[in-house]
């Protein structure tokens, strides 16, 4: 008999579909024993009233395995603990809030939801490390399952424009570090293509440093793929990331990536990227100059990236989620104390996933 798995997903803001794309790829790669339905929250996660309504909505789902797929972590609070899974994408929000707001987010997005689920999945070793440092939880219930790359990102070789390379920057939030990138490119003969909303401050920075640029704004999946194919270098010099999907997408398409030597980015990139210090403008510039001038270095990074990206295929990710759901369903019948149940669950997780670490050491 099939086991029902329900994905509780956020209602995304315009142009915000990364999490939805990730979980859209999972169902077809799960074992046939699992039947998935997707349910989208009735309201965007903004303001107290809308979030309370989303919380009430989450109380409707009590049958089978319920998986809260991220961003609306509080939806994991109601329901039966033994059947709930929560995916934590990152903890960046805790680094930029303080006072009462930080306390509320800590308890409603992390502490209480994690107390109320059987298994927490995280998308990188870095996110797992941060979570365990901030939230009391049995480490053996926190499982690393990376983000899968979309199959639409296929290898597309192209000649490198050494005289005036096109540099693609995906994302413009504060952690994407675009202001320092612009400073680093000052005077470099290149074209910077930016995907994402650009505020007036960043526009002034672009004009101040006279960086030739093109603004694409919010784009659909097809336009994003074309942007990767039409560039020479992908820039991803973020100060913090839970994962770093543009690194993997660049590697899939066959474009060299300049990324940061901190947070989750070295883990995700493997040895298939040029690493720089995102807090040092000179380091960022030196990374781009080396990639542009050193063909052997550039080609080696592209080759390494094509090997690295194999671990992020949807088939491999589907196997990992199947293992988590199977461990949960097989531990339902355990009688005795909560400790007995948790011990059985952990043993099954270790049995299922103990040999399924990523190349970078992710696992239990």
Domain boundaries, the chain: 3-148+313-353, 166-311
Quote the pTM value. 0.87
Helix-strand-coil split of the chain, %, nearest 5: 45, 15, 35
- Work out whether strand 191-195 and strand 166-170 pair parallel, antiparallel, or are unpaired: parallel
Q: Which of 148, 144, 140 is nearest to 125 (CA)?
A: 144
pLDDT score, position 92: 87
Structural contact between residues 65 and 329, judged by C-beta atoms closer than 8 angstroms: yes
Residues in the chain with pLDDT < 50? 1, 355-364
pLDDT score, position 362: 39
Check if 3-148+313-353 and 166-311 are the same fold.
Answer: yes
Residue 52: both structure tokens together: 């309370």
Core vs surface per residue 223-249: b (16+ CB within 10 A) or e: ebbebbbebbbbbbbbbbbbbbbbbbb
pLDDT score, position 357: 40
Q: Tell me the CATH architecture of domain 166-311.
A: 3-Layer(aba) Sandwich (3.40)
pLDDT score, position 334: 80
Q: Homologous superfamily of 3-148+313-353 in CATH?
A: Glycogen Phosphorylase B; (3.40.50.2000)
pLDDT score, position 13: 78
- C-alpha to C-alpha distance for 114 and 119, rounded to whole angstroms: 8
Structural contact between residues 83 and 61, judged by C-beta atoms closer than 8 angstroms: no
pLDDT score, position 17: 55
User: Tokens 């365990």, residue?
Assistant: 132
pLDDT score, position 361: 42
Residue 17: both structure tokens together: 């579909």
Could you give the count of Cα atoms lying within 13 Å of 93 in the half-sphere of its Cβ?
A: 16
**Own/partner long-range contacts of 34-39 (Cβ < 8 Å, ≥24 apart):** 34/2, 34/3, 34/5, 34/65, 34/322, 34/325, 35/2, 35/3, 35/4, 35/5, 36/5, 36/6, 36/7, 37/4, 37/5, 37/6, 37/7, 38/6, 38/7, 38/9, 39/6, 39/7, 39/8, 39/9
| C-alpha pair distances (Å), 207 with each of 10, 166, 201 | 37, 18, 10
């Amino acid at each position: 008999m099939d086991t029902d798995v329900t994905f509780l997903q956020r209602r995304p803001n315009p142009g915000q579909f990364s999490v939805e794309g990730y979980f859209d790829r999972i169902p077809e790669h799960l074992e046939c024993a699992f039947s998935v339905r997707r349910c989208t929250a009735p309201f965007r996660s903004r303001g107290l009233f809308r979030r309370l309504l989303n919380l009430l909505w989450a109380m409707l789902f009590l049958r089978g395995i319920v998986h809260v797929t991220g961003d609306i972590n509080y939806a994991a609070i109601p329901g039966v603990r033994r059947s709930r899974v929560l995916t934590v994408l990152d903890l960046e929000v805790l680094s930029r809030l303080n006072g009462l707001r930080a306390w509320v987010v800590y308890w409603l997005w992390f502490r209480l939801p994690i107390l109320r689920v059987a298994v927490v999945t995280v998308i990188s070793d870095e996110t797992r490390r941060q979570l365990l440092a901030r939230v009391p939880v049995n480490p053996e219930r926190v499982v690393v399952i990376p983000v899968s790359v979309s199959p639409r990102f296929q290898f597309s070789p192209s000649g490198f424009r050494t005289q005036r390379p096109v540099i693609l920057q995906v994302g413009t939030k504060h952690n994407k570090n675009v202001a320092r990138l612009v400073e680093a490119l000052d005077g470099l003969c290149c074209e910077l293509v930016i995907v994402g909303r650009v505020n007036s401050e960043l526009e002034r920075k672009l004009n101040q440093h006279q960086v030739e640029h093109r603004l694409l704004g919010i784009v659909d999946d097809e336009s994003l793929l074309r942007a990767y194919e039409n560039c020479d270098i992908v820039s991803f010099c973020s100060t913090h990331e839970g994962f770093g999907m543009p690194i993997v997408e660049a590697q899939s398409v066959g474009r060299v990536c300049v990324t940061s030597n901190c947070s989750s980015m070295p883990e995700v990139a493997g040895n298939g990227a040029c690493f720089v210090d995102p807090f040092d403008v000179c380091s960022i510039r030196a990374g781009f100059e080396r990639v542009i001038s050193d063909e052997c270095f550039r080609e080696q990074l592209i080759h390494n990236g094509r090997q690295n990206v194999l671990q992020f295929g949807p088939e491999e990710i589907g196997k990992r989620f199947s293992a988590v759901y199977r461990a949960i369903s097989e531990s339902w019948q355990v009688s005795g104390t909560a400790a007995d149940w948790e011990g059985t669950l952990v043993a099954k997780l270790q049995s299922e996933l103990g040999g399924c670490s990523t190349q970078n050491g992710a696992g239990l």
